[in-house]
């Protein structure tokens, strides 16, 4: 379970303080597919960064599986991210001169896995996202939806328990975007939670929890019964 308790995040821009999060409290149980919505500037990305320990709150607590992330050193946070968190971004951030399988294997190689082991895990992750037949393609030879699936496979390859996707469908047409959201929903298991920022209101139909942010606060939380 991910717990945010009265989380504030203030950025300093010269002399001006920007209050991106103003007291966010949330409980996201493992095994849930949660969606964050809200206008531009409402604090969605800031919330994702704090949840995944990419950034620390100015005040308040973030706990994951009983571990208080706000007490970790930056090195410990990096270790936490590489073992527990998978990030998917709007711009897929793939390495252009590497093939799909090389892109997915990269995080493992950076963690000193053997090439054989990294390739086996990368292949499995690409199969999970339905890209078994595109493993040797470079990003420029893949469609937008396929590139995003490679990015999802890369986020999955460490077998993280928290998957965070910040507008993963922002660069995709509606139909392709809906397929990506459905794929992210399918990745949600008892051990994995998925948290997605999206502007697609139809996502509300397949999410366990829909959170609306407004001006750095939780405006509403909607729990739903979803049949799977």
Q: Interface with ligand ATP includes 11 (CB under 6 A)? A: yes
Specify the pairing of strand 33-37 against strand 193-197: parallel
**Residue 20 contacts residue 216 (beta carbons within 8 Å):** yes
Select 137 or 199, whichever has its Cβ closest to Mg ion.
199
Give min distance, CB of 72 to ligand ATP, in A: 20
Q: For 43, how many CA atoms within 13 A lie in the half-sphere containing its CB?
A: 25
From residue 142, alpha-carbon distances to 17, 128, 183 in Å are: 42, 17, 18
Pick from 32, 34, 45, 161 the residue near ligand ATP by CB under 6 A: 45
- Between the alpha carbon of residue 114 and those of residues 99, 106, 172, the distances in Å are 18, 11, 34
Choosing from 32, 34, 42, 45, the residue that interacts with Mg ion (CB under 5 A) is 45
Q: Which stretch binds ligand ATP (CB under 6 A): 34-42, 134-142, 153-161, 185-193?
A: 34-42
Q: 10 is written with which tokens?
A: 């203030």
With CB cut-offs between 5 and 8 Å by kind, which of ligand ATP, Mg ion, none does residue 40 bind? ligand ATP
If the CB atoms of residues 12 and 66 are measured against ligand ATP, the closer one turns out to be 12
User: Using CB distances below 5 to 8 A depending on partner kind, what does residue 86 bind out of ligand ATP, Mg ion, none?
Assistant: none
Residue 223, phi then psi, degrees to nearest 5: -90, 140
The two tokens of residue 223 are 């729990």
Partner interacting with residue 46 (select from Mg ion, ligand ATP, none; CB below 5-8 Å by kind): ligand ATP
Q: Are 195 and 48 in contact (CB under 8 A)?
A: yes
**Per rule CB under 6 A, is residue 44 in the interface with ligand ATP?**
yes
Mapping DSSP to helix (H, G, I), strand (E, B) and coil, where does residue 223 land? strand
Question: CB neighbours of 160 closer than 8 A, spacing ≥ 6?
Answer: 83, 84, 85, 86, 192
Residue from 27, 29, 41, 174 binding ligand ATP (CB under 6 A):
41
Q: Shortest distance, CB of residue 58 to ligand ATP, whole angstroms?
A: 12
Q: Which member of 7, 32, 33, 43 binds ligand ATP (CB under 6 A)?
A: 43
Q: Which of 18, 78, 95, 110 binds ligand ATP (CB under 6 A)?
A: 18
* DSSP 8-state class, residue 228: -
Which residue's entry shows tokens 């990368």?
Answer: 122
Could you list the residues that contact ligand ATP (CB under 6 A)?
11, 13, 18, 20, 38, 40-46
Could you list the residues that contact Mg ion (CB under 5 A)?
44-45
């Amino acid at each position: 379970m991910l717990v945010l308790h009265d989380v504030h995040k203030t950025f300093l821009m010269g002399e001006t303080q920007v209050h991106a999060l103003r007291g966010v409290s949330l409980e996201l149980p493992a095994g849930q597919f949660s969606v964050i919505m809200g206008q531009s500037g409402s604090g969605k990305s800031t919330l994702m960064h704090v949840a995944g320990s990419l950034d620390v709150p100015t005040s308040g607590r973030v706990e994951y599986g009983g571990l208080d992330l706000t007490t970790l050193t930056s090195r410990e946070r990096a270790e936490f991210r590489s073992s527990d968190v998978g990030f998917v971004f709007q711009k897929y951030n793939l390495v252009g001169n590497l093939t799909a399988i090389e892109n997915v294997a990269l995080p493992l190689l950076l963690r000193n896995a053997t090439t054989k082991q990294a390739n086996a895990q990368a292949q499995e992750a690409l199969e999970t996202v339905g890209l078994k037949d595109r493993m040797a393609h470079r990003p420029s030879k893949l469609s937008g939806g396929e590139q995003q699936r490679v990015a999802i496979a890369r986020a999955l390859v460490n077998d993280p328990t928290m998957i965070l996707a910040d507008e993963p469908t922002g660069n995709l047409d509606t139909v392709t975007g809906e397929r990506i959201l459905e794929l992210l929903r399918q990745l949600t298991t008892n051990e994995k939670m998925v948290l997605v920022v999206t502007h697609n209101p139809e996502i509300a139909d397949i999410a366990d929890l829909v959170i609306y942010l407004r001006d750095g606060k939780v405006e509403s939380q909607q729990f739903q019964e979803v049949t799977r």
